[in-house]
Chains A and B, each alone.
Chain A
Amino acid sequence: MAGEARSEEAGLVFHPMDQFIVKPFFGDGAVSWYTITNSTVWMALAVLAVFALLVLGTSKRAVIPTRMQSVAELAYGFIYKMVEDICGKDGVKYFPYIMTLFMFIVFANFLGLLPTAFTPTAHIAVTAVMAFAVFFGVTILGFVKNGPSFLGLFWVNSAPLALRPVLALIELISYFVRPVSHSIRLAGNMMAGHAVIKVFAGFAAITAIAPFSVLAITAMYGLEMLVSFIQAYVFAILTCVYLKDALHPHH
């Protein structure tokens, strides 16, 4: 697919989707399950960055925090407050999981914005694993905590009786669509943003519109910084909302 596009279009020397190809990081060859690919390398870098910020940043535990410690405390407090606000006091138990998800996504997104970097979160394979883990975890948790009364989530008691079966069907569909929208939202946003930047970069080869193209890349880059953070936040906040539904299924 990439090869055909390359030969035909004059201005576009690269295909905008080329950046998402998963290939071995060292040398060439086939990709098998144990191969170190660019995807795994950037995921590992994201984990290392989270580790560096949270462990090294807070290791001194200074009363007057350094810059790194303030950022780490800010991130911790931000997510902690979000979990507490949405899930309530009994949801705080699951705070580490949501914090892990948020920090990993935020760092994978921002590291992916570096030039020539690879964005693991732009791949549906990566985000789907996270979204389905949340989905199955939350469903099992709901049944463990509430037993069969977890199904009350689908039976809207405040609606008129005649309407309830219809609503139950709609609620059921929207429940099973959750992991799909949860994962595609993140992957789609990251992929679309990076592809748009690459498309504008392709226009930079045409002299007449090159200044406009560079301006557009700058503007898109700024927007992507915002989107990187907001999508990580939305992923975390939706995890909280799903968790709240599992803990308190009754409307």
Chain B
Amino acid sequence: MEGELAQMGQYIGAGLTAFGMGGAAIGVGNVAGNYLAGALRNPSAAAGQTATLFIGIAFAEALGIFSFLVALLLMFAV
């Protein structure tokens, strides 16, 4: 019984980490949207900032990936 309860908690916790996906989505959308807004105001400066765009997206995405990591730990390591 106790083992089943712990397993249930594991699965619920792993499912709850899907909320992290929403956070990552907001972050990545924010970066890309602001880049686009800036790029439309000054298209000539846009090309030089694509690298910064991808770095920003990568950093915003990293936090979403940590929630995935938490899910993996809950499923297989705990």
Cβ-defined contact, A85 with B55, below 8 A: no
A-B contact count (CB 8 A): 30
Residues in A whose Cβ lies below 8 Å from that of B69: 180, 184
Q: Which chain B residue has the least Cβ–Cβ distance from A236? A: B54
Residue-wise, chain B 48-59 has the 8 Å CB interface mask toward A (1 for contact) of: 000100110110
Residues in B whose Cβ lies below 8 Å from that of A82: 51
User: What is the size category of the interface that chain A forms with chain B?
Assistant: 10 to 19
Distance of A234 Cα from B57 Cα, bound (Å): 9
**A214 contacts the other chain (CB 8 A):** no
- Cβ distance B6 to chain A, nearest Cβ, rounded Å: 18
Cβ-defined contact, B51 with A181, below 8 A: no
- Cβ distance A142 to chain B, nearest Cβ, rounded Å: 19
Cβ-defined contact, A234 with B65, below 8 A: no
Residues in A whose Cβ lies below 8 Å from that of B62: 181, 185
Query: Quick one: which of B57, B58, B68 contacts A188, CB cutoff 8 A?
Result: B68
**A45 contacts the other chain (CB 8 A):** no
Residues in A whose Cβ lies below 8 Å from that of B65: 181, 184-185, 188
Within 8 A of B (CB), among A78-137: 82, 85-86
Cβ-defined contact, A241 with B55, below 8 A: yes
Distance of A234 Cα from B51 Cα, bound (Å): 9
Pick 18 A–B contacts, CB within 8 A, sort by A.
Answer: A180-B69, A181-B62, A181-B66, A184-B68, A185-B58, A185-B61, A185-B62, A188-B68, A192-B68, A230-B54, A233-B54, A234-B57, A234-B58, A237-B51, A237-B55, A237-B58, A238-B55, A241-B55
| Residues of A near any B CB (own CB < 8 A) | 82, 85-86, 180-181, 184-185, 188, 192, 230, 233-234, 237-238, 241
The list of the 7 closest CB pairs from A to B, nearest first, reads: A181-B62, A234-B58, A184-B65, A188-B68, A185-B65, A188-B65, A237-B54
